Amino acid sequence: MSATFEPLGSSIPRPTLASAALPPRVRRVLEHLYALVSDEMSRQLEAMLGEFEQQLFKHADLARNPAQQASHLETLRTTRLNRADLVPRYLALVESELTTIRDPVGAPLESNGSAPAFRDLKLVEHGEVDESLLLRTIAARQESRAGLPLLLLGQRFGVLAGQPAFDAERLPVGPYALGKILSDAAHALQISPEARLHLYKVFDHQVMTGYAQLVETMNALLARENVLPSLSFVPIRPRSPQRQEGQRRVAEPGEAVDAPQRQRPMTDWPGNHDGGTGPALESETFNLLQQLLAARRDAMNRLRPGAGGSDAGAPRPTLTREELANALSALQDVPLHQAPPRNLTDVRQTLLAQARQQRGEATFLSRDDADTFELLDLFYNEIGRELRSDAAVGTLLNRLQVPLVRLALQDRGFFVRNEHPARQLLNAVAEAGAHWVPRDEADPQLNDQLRRAVDHVVENYDGDNGVFENANRQLQEHLRAMARKAEVAERRHVEAARGKEKLVLAKRQASDAIEAIISEHKLPRFVQTLLSQAWTDVLTLTLLRSGEDSEEWQRQLDATREIVAANAAGQLGQVSSALGEDIEAALTQVGYHVEDAGAISRQLVTGTVAANDDAASRTELALKLKARTRLGTDDAPAPKAAERTPKEQECWRHLRTLPFGTWFEFDIGDAGEVVRRRLSWFSPVTDNALFVNQRGQRVAEQSLDSLARQVAAGRARVVTEEKSRLVDRAWGAVMGALGQLVGHNNHSEAHA
């Protein structure tokens, strides 16, 4: 066997960042980066192992013969026995990789240059080749997905290493390195090569799906550590006022406090907000986009080691616009049961492969057409980052790719006009699967409308923009109807919340009135209990029905004074029988049974002497009171919270100025999930806040104090009018990514 195992208790010591010969600043930056990566990877690897074990158990349960079942169960047993070794070993190997960033390129691991001994040579089994191919396939797919952020990360590692930019294969935290590290660490499980292949597939789906986001997080950390911080968006030209009004986005945690005047909170329901309608200079703007793309290609060539300008040779044969339109039309007519292309790169490669077959030579797209494909591909990639991984709308978005690229080739306004019907349609489809929409809140009716709209476009679009307009108009009508239903549902919940607040305030006032009356009297404890519970309910209901200026309220206060006077004096017969009947009737009105109301009335009106003589009845009555649900018991006061910090206090003050209907984004758990909730109403008196979801359904109630602490901690954010639409956020990310490379290209010599 070619597999070798290190003794788990005596593994070879590996270099650490603390012992590595690195400059102090580089070591500190790498330590911070390692802390980030180790925290994220340890959680994901544990989840991977859990999923791997579940799949092994499932395979054993579905095995066709006892031998297969025994094999799966043995792998499961071995994995459970050794799983504790994998994560520490994996993280140690990651740290070891980070210590080598300043090693010369291609330097041998051993400095003595001696040839390997015969005992070190081995035959490579087919299983190891399969493992290597699978890991490289996974890495190549992640390299494609991470794209630009991965190139930027390589540039920053080049600065840390004092060398040219690292490519994806050399990056110590790149997809190839992480796969190779897993291959090494997986030997700690002592499982078969076939089981390791299965493990790598779980690694791909469980861990590497979030790799692109991890790359962006690493870039952000290195930028904060002042490693090429200028790799940021550089505006090409000022935005028009109309575009600024139309754009929306999510505020950063501190912005809810620091810039409330500059950014207006988003209060519209989904489907009610439209893009800006400012004038679109389509030709000029598209030319600007082409300049950005050209600068992007140039910058990527500079960042990619060994790349040059060899492509700029003799003129190459290109597809005419008519040939391209005919090929796309044929691709659009593919039957529904056949899977659509996964992305625009697949569409492009399919078209060029067909053209090569027809012409017998390599064929290319014209510059304008290639730029359109590239822009739409970047746009789609950014939209994909905003979607849940399990979103059902992914198939609909894939089906829209070909009609959209056909539209964009002839109508450049798609890229530059927020109100473009195709752009609005794309936004509606994408937002149905947005990462801030929980899985259990998916709307089957909306999904059906989206499917119909996409079917209409795919089946009927042949160069007529009216097809998109018709599909979008019907879909927008449905979204507006949904918004009206959500608003009606929300209004019911707000009225209920206001009613609860009135109950709480009335209960407080009733309690205060009783406290004021008995403050100068010494009453038996049981009488105080009856007054603070049963009789408080009576006064609360009187306030709600009649108000504090009514004769009924004054009459109940007088009755309270008589009750207190009778029990304080301790003399029988001082309370009239009519008052006792009134007390009993009032108690029945707040839900007490006739027998219990009579018992409470007798305890309140007979005075202390009689009350002290009836201990058994008092005990029975106390048990009934304890078991009874009272008015407003679900609004019991919460324990006093800790004093707010200055930042939390500032957030709390700002939250009280927000309009009803403001949307918030909340972080859910530690997996990076986000959910949007609408602040429908809050009380400046009780500090209680009501939240609903996109259907207007009540989903949470919490205090503004709790919300302020979440905002201050960065776990909640106000969604502002700038870029609240998913497509606007995605397009802003495209422009930002292009601007990053342009900005770096303009300043590359300064950071050389």
Residues forming beta bridges with residue 674, ordered by sequence position: 667
| DSSP per-residue letters across 352-395 | HHHHHHHHSS--B--HHHHHHHHHHHHHHHHHHHTB-TT-THHH
Nearest CA among 646, 660, 534 for reference residue 599: 534
Q: What is the DSSP annotation of 169-195?
A: TT-TTSHHHHHHHHHHHGGGG---HHH
Tokens coding 251: 């505020």
pLDDT of residue 195: 92
Spatial contact of 27 and 102, defined as CB atoms under 8 Å apart: no
pTM score over 0.95: no
HSE-CB of 748 using CA atoms within 13 angstroms = 18
How many CB atoms sit inside 10 A of residue 705's CB? Answer: 18
Rounded to 5°, the CA angle 258-260-262 comes to: 100
- 8 Å CB contact between 546 and 553: yes
DSSP letter (8 states) at residue 93: H
Contacts of 256 (CB under 8 A, 6+ apart): 651, 654, 655, 711, 717, 718
pLDDT average per 10 residues of sequence, the chain (752 residues): 41 76 91 92 92 90 85 91 93 93 63 45 52 86 83 89 88 94 93 92 90 90 84 39 40 42 72 49 59 69 52 69 89 73 83 86 86 89 83 86 92 84 91 83 87 92 90 90 90 89 88 87 82 87 88 89 78 64 85 82 67 58 66 58 89 90 86 86 88 91 93 91 78 78 48 37
> Which of 257, 173, 206 minimizes the C-alpha distance to 709?
257
User: Which residues pair with residue 716 across a beta bridge?
Assistant: 666
Specify the residue for token string 């740290």: 95
List strands edge to edge, sheet with 716-722: 248-250, 716-722, 662-668, 673-682, 688-692, 698-703
- What is the sign of the dihedral through the CA atoms of 231, 236, 240 and 246? negative
Closest CA to 498 of 692, 704, 684: 684
Structural contact between residues 485 and 696, judged by C-beta atoms closer than 8 angstroms: yes
For residue 714, what are the CA distances in angstroms to 94, 256, 321, 665?
A: 29, 10, 49, 10
Lookup: tokens for 169: 């294969």
> Pairing between strand 688-692 and 248-250?
unpaired
Residue 226, pLDDT score: 85
Q: Which of 654, 673, 719 is nearest to 268 (CA)?
A: 719
